[in-house]
Amino acid sequence: MDRREFIKKAVTLAGVSSIGFALKGTPFIFGNNKKSVDMVAVRGGEPDTMFKKGIPYLGGIKNFVKKNDEVAIKVNASWNSKPSDGGNTNPKLVRAVAQACIDAGAKNVYVFDHTIYNPDTTYRESGIKFELSGMKAKIAPANNNRYFEKVKIPNAKILKTAEVHELILSADTLINIPVLKTHGSTRMTSAMKNFMGIVWDRAFYHRNGLHRCIAEIFNFRKPDLNIVDAYNVMVRGGPSGYYNSKIVVKKMQLLSTDLLAIDMAASKILGFKPSTINYLNIANELNLGKKIESINIKKIAI
Amino acid sequence: MKIIRIFFQWLVFILFLSLSFYTFPKIIVDLILGTQIFPSFFRLILHGFSAISIILIFNIIFALFLGRFYCSFLCPLGILQDSIFSIYSFFKKNVKKFRDKNYYRKTLLISGGLFFIFLIASIFNLKVIISIMEPYSLFTKFVYIFDNILTDNIKDTFFYFIIILFILFVLKLFFEERFFCKYICPTGFLLRSISNFSLLNLHIDDNKCIKCKKCENVCKTSCITISKKENRINNSLCVRCFNCYSECPVNAISFSVKNGMNIQNLNRRKSLKVLGFSFILIFFSSLIKKANFIKNAGKNFKKNQTVPVGSNTLENYINRCINCNLCVNVCPTNVLQPNIQAPRLNYNIAFCDYFCNECSKVCPVNAIKYIPIQDKKKIAMGKSNLDKNLCVVYSKNQSCGACAEICPTGAVHLVNYKNNLMAPELDNKICVGCGSCEYACPTRPIRAIKVEPYNKHRKLKIEEQKTEKEVKTEEFPF
């Protein structure tokens, strides 16, 4: 960068930030002189608008996605259920996040999940395939062992090695978009439980201690951004919602970089005490994040 | 004529290929598969008359009018052979023709003998022989192989058996064009005996012919003999590819009604004998097959194997299936795996999707009868058994619940067991035996929860599930 270019860029930067400063009510894009926000909780809007309202408080998507980055978005698309049934991540939210990443200059955007049911039908039923059609974002396959690579997990007691999806290794930015549901055996599935879908051998988790394995995978890599979709919340009959299920339309969304705090907040939305969910206690032991009491939450109602 | 044939061939070939990869409505699938002679014939004798049988009758009428029209225009294996050979001959010019003195006699005797073996095999349900000799089943197996190579699917031992066969087949193809149609194909033999009497035939006009022998070189089945004395076309061997028709420089070859001198090789009486022989054989073997003479057909098939929804009973399934593996090709979860007798559901690899009825849409012989998705959801293939000594929750006191998580009907559900631990419990009244619990169960090498198949599929009373819905606006609880 020569001197002239530097001056040009400095002037434009100053100009843009002063515009941001001048307009009242809009969050600051450059430099936040207030106390930094750890978690944003939005409620009352559609999933995509809630995301657009909420993300600037975390510094905008540009804080996470740099130009020419490869972005991997881990969604929940495991079940043959429609968007209104709350079994899968809301497709509008997936679209909004993927579009934001593309607009921020991402080179490749991949959406992936090691689905439980057949991926062809689940992506179609969940509406994610339809929403992503015609976009630069692609659905990365994860239904075969060859897309997974064996890695060593540091500081692990049980899950010492795991076969994780190749995107976990190659992606520059990892975004986690779970949907909030109850779960038969672990009580709640949210940001942490969603990362069970990045490994090939899920049976290993079940066989050797489910709660500890759920927490220990994050010693390998944490997601850079978590967005919990709590628009249609399944409060009974999860995770599949195939029988005896109940949906409460809460129209909420949580955004955070902190894994533990967002799951603790999510458990409160479902009406659980965080301490009753075992993997959250283990995550606290492993220092995966801050507790909800000690973070700064920005609440927005639309 | 040749251009029309090639165009038609591509159309049919693409249709048959797309059957394995795309979902079509049931009627279109039936229409495409109905063109195959032996599958629709088996369907006729075991299932009675249906719309598909009309296509079969049309096929026979076509054979009476046009000869072995089917081989060049409708048979997917024939088209596959043609395309492989055209690639081969593109690189190597002047491919040798294999033909000796007793060529016609030899092909007739070998294919006739194999036809006899084929019928015996179909009576005794020897699926290996049926599926290798029947051209359509062989074609779907090749699609299966390509599919496996390209997409790296899960393989079974049977796969290697087919791949050896495939290599042999391709090697033989390179030496001789349309080898399969001349020596092995039972459908070919049947059409051959009919097409002796076909109305329209290829003829060489002796006055026009300049003996350039171009037609002899391009003929796919080497049925043209050009010599100084006489020109002959063996119309029973001719597959109506019309290569000679467009190759002839003086337009001496015509496709017309003419009982001229050059319909030779088999005189009327001899060809009537062949026709009568094959029809009597077919008649008796179909009678035997219809009477289900061989009762314990599923003897070699393991009794603990579940059969797909739509086949109703194991015996029914084994008797009707021709092991063409099309259902294996279309199965989205790959739970249907090829086997020597008939495709089987392998719950170690995958599970039968509760929301899918793809296999029942494509079966050409109705071994898997078509069942609409809402009916399929209420039919039980088996029930599950839980071994509490092996189960992670009961034996180790750890939380698991993988089976209950995946169960589509709620037959496996979680109940409170010990201080906040949830344990699986079974309700076999609503279990459909889809095997999802067996697939998800983490215990190895023996799974704690297993599906035990029913001898006859049962109809269950499963209520349509509806999600309760509620809209609530509330403040954040934190």
B255 confidence band (pLDDT: 50, 70, 90): confident
Distance from C-alpha of B337 to C-alpha of B342, rounded to nearest angstrom: 9
* Residue B29 token pair: 């699938």
Distance from C-alpha of B325 to C-alpha of B364, rounded to nearest angstrom: 10
pLDDT of A212: 92
| CB–CB contacts below 8 A, A to B | 125
Q: Which of A181, A256, A186 is nearest to A223 (CA)?
A: A256
User: Is the Cβ pair B356, A202 closer than 8 Å?
Assistant: no
Q: Which of A24-33, A146-155, B54-63, B341-350 comes out lowest in average pLDDT?
A: A24-33
- Contact residues of B toward A, CB < 8 A: 151-153, 332-333, 353-356, 392, 398-402, 404-410, 413-414, 420, 422, 440-444, 465, 467-474, 476-478
Residues A197, A201, A205, A206: is their CA dihedral positive or negative?
positive
Q: Which of B22-26, B55-59, B127-131 comes out lowest in average pLDDT?
A: B127-131
ipTM reported for the complex surpasses 0.85: no
More confident call, B373 vs B319: B373
pLDDT tens readout for residues A207-247: 888 999 999 999 999 999 999 999 999 998 878 888 888 99
Mutate to test the interface with A, among B467, B469, B470, B474 (most CBs of A within 10 A): B467
pLDDT of B252: 85
How far is C-alpha A86 from the chain's CA centre? 16
pLDDT of A106: 92
Q: Helix, strand, or coil here: A109?
A: strand
User: Other C-beta atoms within 10 Å of A236: how many?
Assistant: 14
User: Other C-beta atoms within 10 Å of B121: how many?
Assistant: 21
Q: Does A271 touch chain B (CB under 8 A)?
A: yes
More confident call, B266 vs B129: B129
Distance from C-alpha of B113 to C-alpha of A77, rounded to nearest angstrom: 55
User: Is the Cβ pair A299, B410 closer than 8 Å?
Assistant: no
**Of B353, B401, B444, Cβ closest to residue A184:** B401
Measured between CA atoms, the residue of chain B closest to residue A146 is B152
More confident call, B46 vs B292: B46
The amino acid occupying position A155 is N
The amino acid occupying position B100 is D
Distance from C-alpha of A215 to C-alpha of A279, rounded to nearest angstrom: 6
For chain A, residues with pLDDT lower than 70 are 1-35
**Of B356, B442, B476, Cβ closest to residue A299:** B476
pLDDT tens readout for residues B433-442: 999 999 999 9
* Residue A218 token pair: 């994050």
Closest-CA distance, A241 to chain B, in angstroms, reads: 8
User: Is the Cβ pair A292, B355 closer than 8 Å?
Assistant: no
Residue B177 reports pLDDT greater than 90: no
CA distances from A268 to A76, A222, A237, A275, A277 (A): 20, 22, 18, 11, 11
Closest-CA distance, B424 to chain A, in angstroms, reads: 10
What average pLDDT does this structure show over B324-329? Answer: 88
Q: Does A241 touch chain B (CB under 8 A)?
A: yes
Q: Which residues of B touch A244 (CB under 8 A)?
A: 410, 465
Mutate to test the interface with B, among A182, A183, A242 (most CBs of B within 10 A): A242
Q: Which of A92, A100, A56 is nearest to A75 (CA)?
A: A92
Contact (CB, 8 A) for B313 and B305: no
Contact (CB, 8 A) for B43 and B52: yes
B353 dihedral zone (left: phi>0; alpha: psi -120 to 50; beta) = beta
Distance from C-alpha of B149 to C-alpha of B244, rounded to nearest angstrom: 37
pLDDT of A174: 94
**Of B398, B422, B465, Cβ closest to residue A184:** B422
What average pLDDT does this structure show over B52-61? Answer: 87
CA distances from B443 to A83, A158, A186, B404 (A): 33, 16, 19, 15
Mutate to test the interface with A, among B405, B415, B436 (most CBs of A within 10 A): B405
Mean pLDDT of chain B: 82
B322 dihedral zone (left: phi>0; alpha: psi -120 to 50; beta) = alpha
What average pLDDT does this structure show over B173-187? Answer: 80
pLDDT over 70, % of chain B: 88
Please state at what angle helix B37-47 crosses helix B268-290, rounded to 10 degrees: 50
More confident call, B161 vs A70: A70
B465 confidence band (pLDDT: 50, 70, 90): confident
Q: Which residues pair with A73 in a beta bridge?
A: A111, A175
Distance from C-alpha of A222 to C-alpha of B109, rounded to nearest angstrom: 72
Residue reference for tokens 């409060």: A235
Residue B217 reports pLDDT greater than 60: yes
Q: Does A139 touch chain B (CB under 8 A)?
A: no
CB neighbours of B109 closer than 8 A, spacing ≥ 6?
none
pLDDT of A178: 94
Closest-CA distance, A203 to chain B, in angstroms, reads: 4
Contact (CB, 8 A) for A298 and A37: yes
Distance from C-alpha of A262 to C-alpha of A259, rounded to nearest angstrom: 6
Q: Which residues of B touch A116 (CB under 8 A)?
A: 405-406, 440
CA distances from A272 to A238, A277, A278, B150, B419 (A): 15, 8, 12, 48, 16
**Of B406, B422, B471, Cβ closest to residue A249:** B471
pLDDT of A20: 46
**Of B410, B440, B467, Cβ closest to residue A85:** B467
Measured between CA atoms, the residue of chain A closest to residue B22 is A120
B3 confidence band (pLDDT: 50, 70, 90): confident
How far is C-alpha B150 from the chain's CA centre? 20
